[in-house]
Amino acid sequence: MSTPSISWPEKVSLCEVGLRDGLQNEKVIPSIEQKLQLLDAVVASGVKIIEIGAFVHPKAVPQMADTDTLCRTMKKVDGVEYRALVPNIKGVQRAFDAGLSKAKLTVSASEAHCLANFNSTPVKMIEGFADCAEFAAKNAMTLSGAISTSFGCPFQGKVPFEQVENAVRSFVKLGITELSLSDTTGMANPRQVYELGTAMRQLFPQVQWVMHFHNTRDMALANIVAGIQAGVRMFDGAFAGLGGCPFAPGASGNVASEDVIHMLHEMGIDTGVDLLKAMDTARLAASFVGHAPSSAVLKAGRCVDIVKEKPQAQNNA
């Protein structure tokens, strides 16, 4: 019987955001030495894109207070991209002073979310990043953008397509063409992901798309498959499934990097990451924050590990 053909990519890239989004909501804050240990483990596993922290006010996110120190003391490996999240021009300048050449700006697609938290619309907030873009251009820095609540918002539910499109268009006007569609509150579903991803790729073919999912409602892996089918080839993950956004109700729990890697490898899709080393990184992270990881592959093991020899047939004659 013939089955419909589905096209799968040979390779998908993974960005490890555990050091930022994974740790920013943890009660136990790892020391700088422990963060450096985690960073080295992530690099050793083969991950080539790492979000190492955030240049935000320490009172707002105390878990990120040592990002400057981390940047200045970490061992940089050729071929690995290191970036940090920044909220404004001060954050961009701090990232530059700490030796980073890439920073990520973020804004919510939801007008209700932005108005409630910042008394501004997403478009006006992105227009306010013009000084960031100017500074980056003068100092050979690269800026990327993250559009949070792209799939749902606790203030307004589903976010209208036009609000996401307006945010993308505003980023592109600034010359920022690597953008992440982020499911901050874990409200996305696979059909929605496929339709939004397909539409955005058609409208903005110049953009390098990334997707960022939280596993709040246990749909993150399915959403990644839908994103792949929409043509997206880069996804975020956090070791051990740690963290989440401290400012979004119910948003705890990023998709675990090791679960994503395991799924993709089982599908015959290369990530360039050593799964066993990624699992070891997740265990290390869990030991530092003092609670069990949420990832399924750490609980159940890899599929290949449970395949046993077939029992010999018994002769009952």
Tens digit of each residue's pLDDT, the chain (317 residues)? 566 678 999 999 999 999 999 999 899 999 999 999 999 999 999 999 999 999 999 999 999 999 999 999 999 999 999 999 999 999 999 999 999 999 999 999 999 999 988 999 999 999 999 999 999 999 999 999 999 999 999 888 999 999 999 999 999 999 999 999 999 889 999 999 999 999 999 999 999 999 999 999 999 999 999 999 999 999 999 999 998 665 555 555 899 999 999 999 999 999 999 999 999 999 999 999 999 999 999 999 999 988 765 555 555 55
Residue 247 DSSP symbol: T
The position carrying tokens 């530092």 is: 288
* 207-229 as b/e: b if 16+ CB within 10 A: bebbbbbbbbeebbbbbbbbbbb
Q: Which domain holds residue 228?
A: 13-302
Indicate the SS3 state at residue 200: helix
DSSP of 92-155: HHHHHHTT-SEEEEEEES-HHHHHHHHSS-HHHHHHTTHHHHHHHHHTT-EEEEEEETSS-BTT
In a domain, 2, yes or no: no
In a domain, 312, yes or no: no
> Which residue pairs from 273-276 have beta carbons closer than 8 angstroms and sit at least 24 positions apart in sequence?
273/14, 273/45, 273/46, 273/47, 274/45, 274/46, 275/302
Q: Which residues are catalytic?
A: 245
Domain count, the chain: 1
Residue 241 DSSP symbol: G
Q: How much is the pLDDT for 313? A: 54
Distance between the two ends of the chain, CA-based, in angstroms? 37
In a domain, 237, yes or no: yes
CATH number, residue 140: 3.20.20.70
In a domain, 308, yes or no: no
Asked whether the beta carbons of 227 and 200 are under 8 A apart, the reply is no
Cα dihedral sign, 79-282-98-132 = positive
* Nearest partner of 180 among 157, 158, 213, 206, judged by Cα: 213
- Residues forming beta bridges with residue 14, ordered by sequence position: 235
In a domain, 28, yes or no: yes
Which structure tokens are listed for 134? Answer: 């100017």
Q: What are phi and psi of 213, to 5 degrees?
A: -120, 140
CA 36/CA 147 separation, integer angstroms: 28
CA 115/CA 289 separation, integer angstroms: 34
Element (H, E) at 178: strand 178-183
Is the pTM higher than 0.85? yes
Reduced DSSP (H G I as helix, E B as strand, rest coil) percent helix, strand, coil of the chain, to 5: 45, 15, 40
* 143-158 as b/e: b if 16+ CB within 10 A: bbbbbbbbbbbbbbee
In a domain, 254, yes or no: yes
CA 159/CA 180 separation, integer angstroms: 16
In a domain, 72, yes or no: yes
